[in-house]
Amino acid sequence: MYYIKKTMEVSASHSLSLSYESKCTNLHGHNWVITVYCKSEKLNADGMVCDFTHIKELLKEKLDHRNLNEVLPFNPTAENIARWIVDSIEECYRADVQESANNIATYIDE
C-alpha cells in the first residue's frame, strides 16, 4: 500500500448554524491547516497515488479566501469540512481540519 500526506493552509471565513447561543454564529475567519491523507494499492500511470498539486488546486480554489457558507452546501464545521474533503478526493481516506492551534477535527473513512 502506498500512502501520501499533503498539508496546506487556507484562509477562509465562516459562520456556524448552531442549536445554542455562541459567538461562532457570527462571521469570523481562520487560517485553517488542512492535512489530506491518501492511499492506493497501485500507483497511477504517472507513478503517484495522486498528484499533490491536484489536491492543493482542488482545496485552495474552492476554499481559500472565501466565505465557506457561500461555497459549501452544509454547515461548515471543521468536522463537516473534513468529511467533504474525504468524499471529494477518490484516494483520500482521512482529513484533518485545524481551525486553531487547539481545535482539530478528523474524519477517517473506515
Residues ≥6 apart with Cβ < 8 Å to 79: 97, 105, 107
Banded model confidence at residue 12, pLDDT cuts 50, 70, 90? very high
The cell numbers describing 32, all together, are: 485553517
DSSP state of 41: S
pLDDT at 42: 97
Each residue of 17-59: pLDDT tens digit?
999 999 999 999 999 999 999 999 999 999 999 999 999 999 9
Task: Show the domains of the chain with their CATH numbers.
Answer: 2-108 (3.30.479.10)
Give the Cα-Cα-Cα angle 58, 64, 36 (nearest 5 degrees). Answer: 50
Residues ≥6 apart with Cβ < 8 Å to 46: none
Quote the radius of gyration of the chain (alpha carbons, Å).
15
The predicted model scores a pTM of: 0.95
